[in-house]
Amino acid sequence: MSALWLLRAAGAILLGLAALHPLMPARLRWKEELPRLSLLNRQMFLVHAYFIGLVLAMMGALCAFAPRLLVERGPLARLVCGAFAVFWFARLVVQWFVYDRSLWREGGFNAFIHWLFTAFWIYLSSLFGWLFWLQTR
């Protein structure tokens, strides 16, 4: 499998996550949950959620539609691949050490999502780590 194909696959999944982002409020019952927060915290939460979706879309677009920019040797590709590797590895660490384990230990949908995202964060951090390594050789 080529790096371009692996990047395009990652991009498609990231774009899919970005497309699903607007469905999260209903699935996670934000309409019922968020009114308990102060106005500032509620607005900060919503703004951050929006920008997370935007970052997913931008990363996904770069990977899906311009993967050669991340594969061709150069300082910008090295910087972006290194930054993405750190970003997704940090997200993997958060998955395991910030979220309470009780959220997925009982099985069901939460456990499925936990393991699915764990696999995807490993994929992304490994892919970008590998590309960073190739850029530095």
The predicted structure's pLDDT at residue 79: 98
Which DSSP letter does residue 18 get? H
Whether residue 58 sits in one domain with residue 47 = yes
- C-alpha atoms less than 13 angstroms from C-alpha of 133 in its C-beta half-sphere: 7
Residues 44 and 4 in one domain: yes
53-74 pLDDT tens trace: 999 999 999 999 999 999 999 9
DSSP secondary structure code for residue 1 in this structure: -
pLDDT at 1 over 90: no
Q: Do residue 58 and residue 80 come from a single domain?
A: no
In order of 42, 52, 127, the CA distances from 29 in angstroms are 14, 18, 34
Residue with token string 């774009």: 15
Mean pLDDT score, 4-33 = 96
28-44: pLDDT as tens digits: 999 999 999 999 999 99
Q: For residue range 78-129, what is the model confidence (pLDDT) as tens digits?
A: 999 999 999 999 999 999 999 999 988 888 999 999 999 999 999 999 999 9
The DSSP line for 58-126 is HHHHHHHH-THHHHS-SHHHHHHHHHHHHHHHHHHHHHHHTS-THHHHT-HHHHHHHHHHHHHHHHHHH
pLDDT of residue 106: 84
The reply to whether 1 and 65 lie within a common domain is yes
Please count the CA atoms within 13 angstroms of the CA of 130 that sit on its side-chain side: 11
Instruction: Give the structural domain span for 105.
Output: 73-137
- 2 lies in the same domain as 67: yes
- Residues 87, 48, single domain; the answer is no
